């Protein structure tokens, strides 16, 4: 174990800004990407369901 306390952990020996800037942005970027893709898939599905429902209506 390298760290005596939580604050020491977050300070990263004075490099906190840089280290957390890297890890944080990476984590955020990956999460945002996942969110965007989920949104995209959901949007396609929603549009498709609406279209199919409209089709069924016109067929009846």
Partner 1 sequence: MSQRLVNWFKFASPASFYPLAGKMWPWFAALGTVLAAVGLWISFFVAPTDFQQGEGYRIIFIHVPASWMSMFIYCVMAFWAAIGITFNTRLSGMMSSALAPTGALFAFLSLWTGALWGKPMWGAWWVWDARLTSELILFFLYIGYIALTAAIDDPRRADKAGAIVALVGVVNVPIIYFSVKWWNTLHQGASVSMTKAPTMAATMLWGMLIMALAFWMYSIAIALYRVRAIILERERHTTWVAELPEMQR
Q: What is the contact mask toward partner 1 in residues 5 to 44, using x (rule: CB under 8 A)? A: ----x--xxxx--xx-xxx-xx--xx--xx--xx-xx--x
DSSP 18-44: HHHHHHHHHHHHHHHHHHHHHHHHHHH
Residue 3 is classified by DSSP as -
Q: Using the rule CB under 8 A, which residue among 2, 5, 58, 59 binds partner 1?
A: 2
Cα 12 to its chain centre, rounded Å, is 26
Residue 52 found at the interface with partner 1 (CB under 8 A): yes
60, 52 in Cβ contact below 8 A? Answer: no
Residues engaged in binding partner 1 (CB under 8 A) = 1-3, 9, 12-15, 18-19, 21-23, 25-26, 29-30, 33-34, 37-38, 40-41, 44-45, 48-49, 51-52
């Amino acid at each position: 174990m390298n760290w005596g306390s939580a604050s020491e952990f977050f300070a990263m020996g004075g490099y906190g800004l840089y280290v957390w800037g890297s890890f944080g942005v990476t984590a955020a970027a990956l999460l945002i990407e996942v969110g965007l893709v989920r949104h995209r898939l959901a949007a396609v599905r929603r549009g498709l369901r609406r279209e199919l429902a409209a089709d069924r209506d016109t067929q009846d």
